Amino acid sequence: MRSDSRGYTRAMAGATAGAYEAELAYTRSSDVGPDAARPGVLRARTLAPEQQKTKQSFDLRRCHVYDLAADGAPEPDLVGRGFDVVDLSPFADVHATLERVRAAGHITDADARAIRHGLTGAWLRLSDGSRLRLLTIASEGLIMRNAGPNAMTVTSGPRHGMNGHDAATAVHADQDVKGTPLRQLMRGAAPWLFRHDTPDARNGWSPLMLLNLWIPLQQITRPLALMDKRTLDRRAHQLRYGLPTDSFLERDADQSVNDIWAFLPDPAQRWYFTSEMDSRRAYVFETLGTPHGSFVLPGEDVAERLYRALERAAEAARQGDEAALRRVTDDVASLPAPAVTTSALRRAIEAMGELLEEARGAASALCRGEGRDDWVSRTKAAADRVVRRSLEMRVVALRVPSWRAGAPRS
């Protein structure tokens, strides 16, 4: 694979440091109207399952997404911006379970119990010096996502329980504090108990928060983007949305449609992600109102081509088909490196390209079986690195301000 460092330098010269241009999938304005049940609030039309999988169903906007790992990036802030990053490295048993889940590519009931047990009651420090006490982790909503580069599907079959979930692409927030199922579960008390912001209500005093704990097991591609909630005009751009859950959750009939939020785009909105992140750190963000969604990084098209080439090359080597192996490696030999991408994705692309170059020079030997098992094993590991794996769960947490004494360290 050809690398052009001068082209990369030229491309970066006109870009904002730490910013990447990418498409985010918003709700189309033609699908929005007044909400009859909540005067003054807007509502988005519910999309059929097949519509949710097509780009034509969304308003795809090119947005700048800023890397929190870049020099000079702002500090996240749970109360101010709506999201933060927390350190999970002190929880050794949890980290061991997370690594097992990452390697397996799926989560079991025993893994989920171990994670909930290890984190329930934990204290986590936030960027502003305050702390979170994780009071309870819901059994519903703990799911694992596997997503291939450049929107490539790597899951098979329907979503079921905790597994089989691709990345969530549409810009959304996960729960309306006044909607299903919180309304039924908490008998209408949720707006009084939980801190939240909605287009028609606000609770800014409660220390009790309903949060997403989002753990990247590996996240070189398809990263999660989070909007700074201070840049959101909730009255104009936040939309009620009814999400049917029959295909992936078992609920009573009166709770089968989950009331969440969708969003309209606006140039003032500002987005963030983290390019270098693994399961030692996690995002916490407001389930009740922080807009988020995955996106495709520049360079993921190259990663997808190399991923597919490694699959074909490994199969040709196993079959002893030297002609097929040479066709695969010749096809990507002149593939240019991406002009602009993250350092982590660039390293992964280079590793895949080197394995294909190795196969190109040793095609005859590999097809005779010489060193084939070792090479195939290394191709699987290199291709797997560009599959995004993540865990997410719903947490009820108590936020203790930094001026309060007595909260223990993590």
Q: How confident is the model at residue 407 (pLDDT cuts 50, 70, 90)?
A: very low
Distance CA 360, CA 335 (A): 14
Q: What is the pLDDT of residues 183-230, one digit of tens each?
A: 998 999 999 999 999 999 999 999 999 999 999 999 999 999 999 999
**pLDDT above 70: residue 16:** no
pLDDT given for residue 77 in this prediction? 96
Q: What percent of the chain has pLDDT over 90?
A: 84
pLDDT given for residue 351 in this prediction? 97
pLDDT given for residue 12 in this prediction? 32
Q: What is the pLDDT of residues 42-68, one digit of tens each?
A: 999 999 888 888 999 999 999 999 999
Q: With contact defined as beta carbons under 8 Å apart, do 235 and 254 qualify?
A: no
Q: How confident is the model at residue 177 (pLDDT cuts 50, 70, 90)?
A: very high
pLDDT given for residue 108 in this prediction? 96
Phi and psi at residue 136, in whole multiples of 5°? -155, 145
Distance CA 140, CA 251 (A): 10
**Bridge partners (DSSP) listed for residue 257:** 244
**pLDDT above 70: residue 388:** yes
pLDDT given for residue 3 in this prediction? 45
Average pLDDT, stretch 319-347?
A: 95
The phi-psi region of residue 52 (left if phi > 0; otherwise alpha if psi is between -120 and 50; otherwise beta) is alpha
Please give the C-alpha separations between residue 197 and each of 81, 296, 393, in angstroms, as whole numbers: 12, 29, 20
**DSSP string of 176-224?**
-TTSTTHHHHTTT-HHHHS-EEETTEEE-S-SEEEEEEEEEEE-SSS-E
Closest CA to 138 of 400, 398, 399, 397: 397
| DSSP-assigned letter for residue 320 | T
Nearest-10 crossing angle of helices 322-332, 343-361? 140
Higher-confidence residue of 4 and 121: namely: 121
Q: What is the pLDDT of residues 246-266, one digit of tens each?
A: 555 555 555 568 899 999 999
Closest CA to 362 of 372, 353, 352: 372
Least confident of 7-16, 79-88, 118-127, 212-221: 7-16
pLDDT given for residue 156 in this prediction? 73
Q: With contact defined as beta carbons under 8 Å apart, do 145 and 166 qualify?
A: yes
**pLDDT above 50: residue 405:** no
Here the tokens at position 358 are 């190795």
pLDDT given for residue 403 in this prediction? 64
Angle at 355 (CA atoms; ends 69, 147), nearest 5 degrees:
50
Q: How confident is the model at residue 333 (pLDDT cuts 50, 70, 90)?
A: very high
pLDDT given for residue 39 in this prediction? 93
Considering the chain, what is the average pLDDT of its residues? Answer: 91
